[in-house]
Amino acid sequence: MNTPELSFADVVQPAWNVSPRVRALVTTRNGGMSEPPFGRWQDGVDLPGGLNLGMKAGDEPAAVAANRARLLHLAGVEEAAWLEQIHGAGIVRADDVLAQTQAGGTPTRADASVTDRPGTVCVVMVADCMPVLICDEAGRAVGAAHAGWRGLAAGIVEQTAQRVAQLAGVKAGGLHAYLGPAIGPSAFEVGPDVRDAFMNGVDGAQREATANAFMAHPGNPGKYLADLPALAHLRLQRLGVTHITGGDLCTVTQRDRFYSYRRDRETGRMAALIWLDDRAQSLAD
């Protein structure tokens, strides 16, 4: 099957005011080689040409490999630090992930990675969970976190931010964060256990704001609609981070752009990438 090459029109890029040395993007479901049910969605039909990047989603391995190759070509890099994500709060150095992969080791089990080395690509995959991309303004260090509700409640976003701040040699409050496409507050139905996981350990204004991120479900008593972007905002603000963008793209409702596991169950995976590129800095000077 011949499909158009992946282009920047097929991805989402953060609208943040940081050094051009910082490169970042989030893929959509468009611009690849995958067949339905991992395809692109147009006029109510699942068509060939999906950019599924998940090796364990049930797609043809050759199609996924071709999609990953397209993505790396678009980014202008040779490899990325792919993780085996486990919905936890483990954070690793992307450089170590690549070294383990190159040595033929087993995939690194973690849900976030950081780096201060140019050309090393931090990457997480999503299909409703929120990708959070983090950097310092000058482009000294970057990180990517896979923030489902479990990881978010366990502190993965704050811990990733702190790791990036340490690598960059700055205070966490000076970081920039981008909240990528994720399940939106009109679609994320959860039980009281999820609400309790976030309410435990917070007090004062944070407790009230956290409670406000859970709206009683109007059609399902005992359930809540959770605002994942709002919860991520609160976690970052607790560290003093004020430069926060994104959080307005819903994977469930925007079917023509994004894969959604909660909506479709059998579906593909998108990826969020962030890396440092000295070539971009040179072009900007």
233, part of any domain: no
- Assigned domain for 90 exists: yes
Nearest to 147 by CA among 233, 245, 31, 65: 233
Q: What is the pLDDT of residues 40-86, one digit of tens each?
A: 999 999 999 999 999 999 999 999 999 999 999 999 999 999 999 99
Contact in structure between 281 and 65 (CB atoms under 8 Å):
no
Question: What tens digit of pLDDT does each residue of 248-281 get?
Answer: 999 999 999 999 999 999 999 999 999 999 987 5
82 assigned to some structural domain: yes
User: CA-to-CA distance for 147 and 41, rounded, in angstroms?
Assistant: 25
On the question of pLDDT at 104 being above 60, the answer is yes
Residue 17 belongs to domain spanning: 8-182+245-284
Please report whether residue 68 resides in a domain: yes
Is 119 domain-assigned?
yes
pLDDT tens digits for range 202-233: 888 899 999 999 999 999 999 999 999 999 99
With respect to residue 132, please indicate whether it lies within any of the assigned structural domains: yes
pTM of the predicted protein model: 0.96
Using one digit for the tens of pLDDT, what is the confidence trace for 140-164? 999 999 999 999 999 999 999 999 9
What is the predicted pLDDT for the residue at 148? 96
Mean pLDDT of the chain: 95
Inside any domain, residue 240: no
What pLDDT score does 283 carry? 42
Judged against a pLDDT cut of 50, whether residue 175 lies above it is answered with: yes
The CATH number of whichever domain residue 155 belongs to comes to 3.60.140.10
- In a domain, residue 15? The reply is yes
Q: How many domains does the chain have?
A: 1
Each residue of 4-26: pLDDT tens digit?
A: 789 999 999 999 999 999 999 99
Determine how many CB atoms are found less than 10 A away from the CB of residue 94: 28
The DSSP-derived string for the chain is: ---PPP-GGGEE-------TTEEEEEE-SEEEEEPTTSSEEETTEEES-E----TTSSS-HHHHHHHHHHHHHHHT-S--B--B--SS--EEEHHHHHHHHHTTPPPPB-SEEEE-STTPPEEEEESSSEEEEEEETTSS-EEEEEE-HHHHHTTHHHHHHHHHHHHHTS-GGGEEEEE-SB--TTT-EE-HHHHHHHHTT--HHHHHHHHHTEEEPTTSTT-EEE-HHHHHHHHHHHTT--EEEE---BTTT-TTT---HHHHSS---EEEEEEE-HHHHHHH-
